[in-house]
Amino acid sequence: MSLVAAKGRRTHVASADVAATLSVRDVTVAYSNGVVALRDASFDLGPGTICGLVGVNGSGKSTLFKAIMGFVDPRHGEVRIASLPAAEALKRGYVVYVPQSEEVDWNFPVLVEDVVMMGRYGHMNFLRIPSVEDKRKVDEALERLDMSGYRHCQIGELSGGQKKRVFLARALAQEGRIILLDEPFTGVDVKTEVAIVDLLRQLRENGHLMLVSTHNLGSVPDFCDHVVLLNRVVLAAGPTARTFTQKNLERAFGGVLRHFRLEGGELHADEDRRRVTVLSDDERPVVFYGDERGDEEPLRRKNHEDES
Amino acid sequence: MMDVWDFVAVPLSYGFMQRALIASIFIGAVCSVLSCYLVLKGWALMGDAVSHAVLPGIVIAFVLGLPLAVGAFAAGLFCALMTGYLKDNSRVKEDTVMGIVFSGMFGFGLVLFTKVDTDQHLNHILFGNMLGITARDLVEIGIVSGGTLLAVLAERRDLLLYCFDPQHARAIGLPLKVIHYSLLVLLALTIVASLKAVGIILVVAMLVAPGAIAYLLTDRFERMLVIAAVVAIGSSAVGTIVSFHVDGATGPCIVLIQAFVFLLTFFFAPRRGVFALRRA
Ligand SMILES: Nc1ncnc2c1ncn2[C@@H]1O[C@H](COP(=O)(O)OP(=O)(O)OP(=O)(O)O)[C@@H](O)[C@H]1O
Ligand SMILES: [Mg+2]
């Protein structure tokens, strides 16, 4: 890699005011064994967005992330990031990706702080010598994820949730405008989940674009302003209030969801026709309250969203 | 005290021993840094394969009147590329493919060698001839190993990221293919530089043992590089001098010492050694 190219990238990265947009157009991905994991997926997202990506196991969520990152070649279709072809946006360091599970050798002789520093490589010249700024960003990222106390641990010495936090810290230190998180909440406790969600909200304030896959349906209305429902195809995409409806969820999850319905006499003594529907894919259920139409908004837990 | 002095000084009063010692230091240094990456990436067999595969290259270079190092380098790289190609285009695993390619090339080299009248001794190619290193060889070794060493050290962080987390390397736009092939080229160059000293068969020990020893001793990569370098240079120097006294072949002496150090570390390393793990 030439010095010139490396320097060029530096200036690109510094331009934090690039509009964070993501446009997925007719993306179809087939794996070599013939499985078509994604068919004609299309949606658009703009800056200042947290978009939830929801679907059953095997619905193509991870595949979508990989297609955006260029790790799998779509059979056809196009991904554009910040109005650029995806590969170009990646080169400029606009995109941060935290995979569902890190496929790394946990015995590797690297410390927590080394891993987080790897997030800064795109900001350094080709010798990758960290500047004062780089070190400060690493400190900040570790602090934000409450991992400062572990910075000198070898990465294999951490618990599963701590490992996850290290890689989120790396993502944060990377300072990309478009952030792709594949199931960041699996294996972390509720406290960490809340911390991560707070972080995402702050990033949204600053105009970042986040695409977050999750099985915690109950959290989705709490922090996602947009939702993409996936099951090999994009079933629905748009603002949460319009998209994350009982009808759409039932389409996305078919018979997979645990489904509780309380109505009539179980709920009221009077003639109220409304009922409570609890849909759960994982720990946190999503709760609908209303009559039979099935297109009402999900309930949100209080005092989140309203802060922004 | 006098004995220790003599132990080192007597051999070094000979020119060929001086050259051998300098060569061993160069080779120890370059092999040690490479070994850290090979150990972490799980490329020990790749080291073995590329080194065996250079044999036909040496013979062909001799026939064509090219420098032997050029032929060796080309053949080593050919083996690595061929392995990659065959792996990508079949369901057979990489180590299997590698086994077939390198033994095939080694066999081809042996057949060629018996058919072509070269001025080389097969034994020297296979096991090295440290004591026969000429001033010209030394210059060649110095240039190749020095250049390789500088390149690896300059790019050590990218190479590490490539070994540790290729997905992230790709996500931040690093040219993964370029790094992959650079590492192979550097490996082939290292092997070429080491051939004269330790030979085709034993070079893999130099390419694995120092990294493995250092890996048992530290959790930080930069320290791993330093420890591996100390181990490799130290054992190369000691091995060279010991070989003078026992009148044995130099390459095997170096390799033997490294194996011994590895065993010591395996048992007694402060945190990762067998005894330390027992106590914990
Ligand atoms: N490397 C692969 N080779 C072949 N098929 C694959 C591969 N990876 C995924 N698939 C298939 O593609 C489909 C989508 O997988 P994907 O990993 O995208 O699902 P997901 O929505 O992320 O599921 P989960 O909720 O379990 O993470 C699945 O049917 C899976 O079997
Ligand atoms: Mg997945």
Share of chain B above pLDDT 90, in %: 78
Does residue B113 belong to any structural domain of this protein?
yes
Ligand nearest the Cα of residue A37 is: 1
SS (H, E, C) chain A: CCHHHHHHHHHHHHCCCCCCCEEEEEEEEECCCCCEEEEEEEEEECCCEEEEEECCCCCCHHHHHHHHHCCCCCCEEEEEECCEEHHHHHHCCCEEEECCCCCCCCCCCCEHHHHHHHCCHHHCCCCCCCCHHHHHHHHHHHHHCCCHHHCCCEHHHCCHHHHHHHHHHHHHHHCCCEEEEECCCCCCCHHHHHHHHHHHHHHHHCCCEEEEECCCHHHHHHHCCEEEEEECEEEEEEEHHHHCCHHHHHHHHCCCCEEEEEEHHHCCCCCCCCEEEEEECCCCCEEEEECCCCCCCCCCCCCCHHHC
- pLDDT of A294 > 80? The answer is no
CATH value at residue B196: 1.10.3470.10
Q: Between B23 and B274, whose confidence is greater?
A: B23
Does residue B12 belong to any structural domain of this protein?
no
Cα A242–chain centre separation: 20
Q: Which band of pLDDT confidence, cut at 50, 70 and 90, is reported for residue A7? A: very low
Q: Which band of pLDDT confidence, cut at 50, 70 and 90, is reported for residue A190? A: confident
Q: Which band of pLDDT confidence, cut at 50, 70 and 90, is reported for residue A256? A: low
Residues A152-167: pLDDT tens digits? 999 999 998 899 999 9
Residue A212 contacts residue A227 (beta carbons within 8 Å): no
* Mean pLDDT of all residues in B225-230: 97
Query: What pLDDT is recorded for position A115?
Result: 96
Does residue B264 belong to any structural domain of this protein?
yes
Q: Determine the residue of A29, A32, A35, A75 to mutate for testing ligand 1's pocket, defined as the one with the most ligand atoms within 8 A of the Cβ atom.
A: A35
Does residue B223 belong to any structural domain of this protein?
yes
Chain B residues touching A1 at Cβ < 8 A: 174-175, 178
- pLDDT of B211 > 60? The answer is yes
User: How many A from CA of A67 to the centre of ligand 1?
Assistant: 12
Does residue B14 belong to any structural domain of this protein?
no
Q: Which band of pLDDT confidence, cut at 50, 70 and 90, is reported for residue A287? A: confident
Query: What pLDDT is recorded for position A308?
Result: 38
Ligand 1 contact, A58 CB (< 6 A): yes
* Mean pLDDT of all residues in B59-66: 93
* Mean pLDDT of all residues in B222-236: 96
Picking from A164, A8, A7, A90, the residue whose alpha carbon sits closest to that of residue B169 is A90
- pLDDT of B1 > 90? The answer is no
Structural domains counted in chain B: 1
Chain B contacts in chain A segment 166-185 (CB below 8 A): 170, 174
Does residue B83 belong to any structural domain of this protein?
yes
Q: Which band of pLDDT confidence, cut at 50, 70 and 90, is reported for residue A18? A: confident
Record: contact A121-B164, CB cut-off 8 A: no
- pLDDT of B142 > 90? The answer is yes
- pLDDT of A9 > 60? The answer is no
Looking at the complex, report in whole angstroms how far the Cα of residue A176 sits from the nearest Cα belonging to chain B. Answer: 10
- pLDDT of A306 > 80? The answer is no
Flag the least confident range among A9-13, A92-96, A218-222, B261-265. Answer: A9-13
Residues A37-85: pLDDT tens digits? 999 999 999 999 999 999 999 999 999 999 999 999 999 999 999 999 9
- pLDDT of B79 > 90? The answer is yes
Residue A200 contacts residue A117 (beta carbons within 8 Å): no
Does residue B7 belong to any structural domain of this protein?
no
User: How many A from CA of A57 to the centre of ligand 1?
Assistant: 8
Range of the domain at B220: 23-279
* Mean pLDDT of all residues in A21-26: 96
Does residue B114 belong to any structural domain of this protein?
yes
